[in-house]
């Protein structure tokens, strides 16, 4: 028995508002479906986010219908769950596709039967395999998982499809929304979705598998994922033998990544260096430039437009610049200011305006008094206080002038 595990196909998504990128998601999905047919797999499981939205366009729906029809004509069942994207109130586009017999939506409420304190999880049986799943829950995820009681029959291979980020996923950080121990026990294969990068780990010695998305869904994904694809899983007849997992790379849009060091360059020098370093043969790929170092000037003085135009001329469909590791003079000034109190900033500002220390001190006290929220009574009292201070201020000025004239005499 063998099956394909794919997920997060996000039909309808695009990047950089490019029509080409919208088409890429469709093209890769079609490639994936054709491979499933070529490999004559027993079934296909999809771990959620088939569509990018709960309201796909007619064009996108018709496209998916055409693809799933091909699978059906080849007797390959397609089973999925509602992800976080393809949910629209109660009904999802999956309900429509299920009504016309093109897929099985395992997150349909008919598979989840509340019984007392628990929810019985039923599934479909295909080729002696029990396949069950839950939708991508919004909120109280851990609590909802704690209620799930899977109804796994004896002596079958069993698959659990889910759409959450387990805490053990590499780099998941704050994206994780479910601890590993919350997954229902007893399954032979855990088919994960929602995390867009390929990742595999174990739970009770069984594989937890994320194939990731079939296309790069955003520029961070382009930076972090090396390639896109799906898994072919071969289940041996003998239970003692190990599962065979084979990665199948899909032809997602090529991404070219380059780091460019701009340390100590002026904005003009930096522009020239960027211009020189843009790869010559774009071949319709996406270019990602990560700029590093400290510019002797301002980032905004780099002629990025020229860089973007050149990348287009060289055949890239888009150039994305990452500037987070590039610093400049403005950045440093901002960092310095961040570590100062308002009083310190005020002082430096007034000092630059050539006020002496006594005047600045009085001015700051005035600012302090006037800046307070106050009742009318306090206001009158403070006004009196202010007048006294202003008197002092003039006195100090006269004193200063007097001292200066004395110095002049010397
Ligand atoms: Mn997704």
Query: Smallest Cα–Cα separation from 108: which of 126, 125, 96, 100?
Result: 96
191 has pLDDT over 90: yes
Span from the CA of 32 to the centroid of ligand 1 (angstroms): 17
Tens digit of each residue's pLDDT (9 = 90 or more) over 270-302: 999 999 999 999 999 999 999 999 999 999 999
Q: What is the DSSP letter of 308?
A: H
Residue 222 has pLDDT above 90, yes or no: yes
For 128, residues 6+ apart whose C-beta sits below 8 A from its C-beta are: 1, 156, 157
Please identify, among 204, 234, 250, the residue that sits at the C-terminal boundary of a domain: 250
For residue 60, the CA-to-ligand 1 centroid distance in Å is 17
Centre of ligand 1 from the C-alpha of residue 237, in Å: 33
Taking the centre of ligand 1 as the mean of its atom positions, its distance from the CA of residue 230, in whole angstroms, is 14
Burial of 309 (0-12, 13-18, 19+ CB in 10 A): middle
Instruction: Return the beta strands (E) in 262-325 as ranges.
Output: 286-294, 318-322
The Å distance, Cα 193 to ligand 1 centre, comes to 7
For 310, phi and psi rounded to 5 degrees? -65, -40
Q: How many angstroms does the Cα of residue 166 sit away from the middle of ligand 1?
A: 14
Q: Which residues of 214-226 are buried (b: 16+ CB within 10 A; e: fewer)?
A: bbbbebebbeebe
Neighbour tally for 168: CB within 10 Å:
16
- Would strands 228-234 and 244-250 be described as parallel, antiparallel, or unpaired? antiparallel
Tell me: do 57 and 178 sit in the same domain: yes
Shared-domain flag, residues 354 and 205: no
Side-chain half-sphere exposure of 256, counting CA atoms within 13 A: 19
For ligand 1, the distance from its centroid to the CA atom of residue 199, given in whole angstroms, is 14
In this prediction, residues 255-283 reach a mean pLDDT of: 95
- Give the pLDDT band of residue 378 (cuts 50, 70, 90): confident
Token output for 198: 């390929």
Which CATH number covers residue 17?
Answer: 3.60.21.10
Residue pair 105/95 in contact by the 8 Å Cβ criterion: yes
Structure tokens at 304: 């990025």
Distance 86 CA to ligand 1 centre (A): 9
Sort residue 143 into left (φ over 0), alpha (ψ -120 to 50) or beta.
alpha
Question: For residue 51, how many C-alpha atoms fall within 13 Å in the half-sphere facing its CB?
Answer: 23
Residue 31 alpha carbon to ligand 1 centre in Å: 19
What is the distance in A from the centroid of ligand 1 to the CA of 83? Answer: 7
242 and 203 in one domain? Answer: yes
Ligand 1 centroid–CA 194 distance in Å is 4
- The whole-angstrom separation of Cα 68 and Cα 100 is 11
* Judgement on whether residues 37 and 170 belong to the same structural domain of the protein: yes
Cα–Cα dist 119/54, whole Å: 25
Give one word for 171, left, alpha or beta, with left for phi > 0 and alpha for psi -120 to 50.
Answer: left
Lookup result for tokens 């003039």: 394
Q: How far apart are CA 280 and CA 311, in angstroms?
A: 8
Q: Is 28 helix (H, G, I), strand (E, B) or coil?
A: helix
Stated as kind and residue range, the H or E segment containing 406 is helix 376-409
9 and 100 within one domain: yes
- CA distance linking residue 227 with residue 215, whole number of Å: 9
275/252 Cα distance (integer angstroms): 27
59 and 189: one domain?
A: yes
Shared domain check, 298 and 236:
no
State how many domains the chain has: 3
Ligand 1 geometric centre to CA of 62 (Å): 21
Tell me how far apart the alpha carbons of residues 80 and 71 are, in angstroms, rounded to a whole number.
14
CA of 399 to the centre of ligand 1 (A): 73
Q: Among the listed ranges 117-121, 190-194, 246-250, 382-386, which one has the minimum average pLDDT value?
A: 382-386
Within this chain, do residues 49 and 172 fall inside the same structural domain, yes or no?
yes
Of 300, 322, 323, 320, the C-alpha closest to 312 is 320
Contact between 169 and 210 under an 8 Å Cβ cutoff? The reply is yes
Residues 310 and 261 in one domain: yes
Q: Residue 388 belongs to what domain range?
A: 340-409
> Cα(113) to centroid of ligand 1, in Å?
26
192: enclosing H helix or E strand: strand 189-192
Same domain, residue pair 226 and 103: yes
Mean predicted confidence (pLDDT) in 192-200: 97
Contacts of 320 (CB under 8 A, 6+ apart): 16, 219, 222, 286, 287, 288, 289
Q: 65-93: per-residue pLDDT in tens?
A: 999 999 999 999 999 999 877 665 567 89
- pLDDT value of position 89: 52
Cα of 361 vs centre of ligand 1, distance in Å, is 58
- Residue 173 sits in the same domain as residue 295: no
**What pLDDT does residue 359 have?**
81
pLDDT at residue 195 is higher than 70: yes
Residue by residue, what is the 3-state secondary structure of 91-139? CCHHHHHHHCCCCEECCCHHHEEEECCEEEECCEEECCEEEEECCCCCC
What is the signed CA dihedral for 70, 76, 81, 85, rounded to 10 degrees? Answer: -20
Is the per-residue pLDDT at 410 higher than 50? no
Distance in Å, CA 200 to ligand 1 centroid: 17
Question: Could you say which of 275, 306, 332 is where a domain stops?
Answer: 332
From ligand 1's centre to the CA of 204, what distance in Å? Answer: 26
Bigger pLDDT: 406 vs 225: 225
On whether both 245 and 289 belong to a single domain, the answer is: no
Q: From the CA atom positions of the chain, what is the Rg in Å?
A: 32
Rounded to the nearest angstrom, the distance between the alpha carbon of 163 and the centre of ligand 1 is 8
In the reported structure, the alpha carbon of residue 127 is separated from the centroid of ligand 1 by a whole-number distance in angstroms of 28
Q: How far apart are CA 91 and CA 108, in angstroms?
A: 9
Cα(128) to ligand 1 centroid in Å equals 29
Angle of helix 267-277 relative to helix 304-313, nearest 10 degrees, comes to 10
Q: Tokens at residue 114, please?
A: 């509340």
Dist. CA 30 → ligand 1 center (Å): 18
Calculate how far, in angstroms, residue 392's C-alpha sits from the geometric centre of ligand 1: 68
195: helix, strand or coil: coil
Q: How far is the CA of 90 from the centre of ligand 1 (A)?
A: 19
- What is the tens place of the pLDDT at every residue in 149-178? 999 999 999 999 999 999 999 999 999 999
Number of residues assigned to the chain = 410
Q: How far is the CA of 217 from the centre of ligand 1 (A)?
A: 8
Boundary residue ending a domain (233, 250, 267): 250
Cα 196 to averaged position of ligand 1 atoms, centre (Å) = 6
């Amino acid at each position: 028995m063998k099956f394909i595990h794919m997920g997060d196909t996000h039909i309808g998504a695009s990047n950089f508002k490019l029509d080409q990128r919208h088409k890429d998601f469709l093209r890769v999905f079609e490639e994936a479906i054709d491979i499933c047919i070529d490999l004559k797999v027993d079934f296909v499981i999809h771990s959620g986010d088939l569509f990018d939205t709960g309201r796909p366009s007619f064009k996108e729906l018709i496209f998916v219908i055409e693809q799933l029809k091909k699978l059906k004509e080849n007797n390959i069942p397609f089973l999925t769950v509602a992800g976080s994207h393809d949910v629209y109130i109660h009904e999802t586009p999956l309900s429509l596709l299920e009504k016309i017999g093109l897929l099985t939506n395992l997150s349909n409420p008919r598979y989840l039967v509340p019984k007392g304190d628990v929810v019985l999880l039923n599934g479909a049986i295909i080729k002696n395999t029990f396949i069950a799943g839950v939708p991508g829950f919004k909120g109280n995820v851990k609590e909802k998982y704690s209620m799930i009681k899977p109804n796994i029959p004896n002596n079958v291979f069993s698959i659990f499809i889910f759409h959450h980020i387990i805490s053990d996923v590499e780099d998941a950080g704050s994206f994780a929304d479910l601890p590993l121990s919350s997954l229902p026990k007893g399954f032979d294969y855990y088919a994960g979705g929602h995390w867009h990068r390929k990742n595999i780990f174990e739970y009770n010695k069984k594989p937890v598998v994320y194939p990731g998305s079939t296309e790069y869904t955003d520029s961070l994904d382009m930076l972090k994922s090396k390639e896109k694809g799906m898994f072919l899983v071969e289940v041996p007849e003998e239970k003692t033998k190990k599962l065979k997992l084979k990665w199948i790379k899909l032809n997602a849009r090529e991404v070219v990544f380059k780091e460019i060091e701009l340390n100590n360059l002026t904005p003009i020098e930096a522009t020239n260096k960027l211009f020189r370093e843009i790869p010559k043969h774009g071949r319709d790929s996406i270019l990602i430039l990560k700029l590093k170092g400290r510019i002797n000037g301002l980032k905004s003085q780099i002629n990025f437009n020229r860089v973007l135009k050149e990348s287009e001329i060289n055949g890239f469909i888009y150039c994305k610049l990452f500037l987070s590791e590039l610093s400049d003079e403005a950045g440093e000034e901002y960092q310095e200011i961040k570590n100062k109190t308002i009083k310190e900033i005020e002082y430096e500002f007034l000092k630059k305006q050539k006020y002496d220390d006594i005047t600045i001190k009085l001015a700051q006290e005035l600012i302090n008094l006037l800046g307070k929220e106050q009742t009318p009574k306090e206001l009158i009292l403070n006004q009196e206080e202010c007048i006294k201070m202003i008197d002092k201020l003039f006195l100090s000025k006269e004193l200063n002038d007097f001292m200066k004239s004395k110095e002049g005499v010397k």
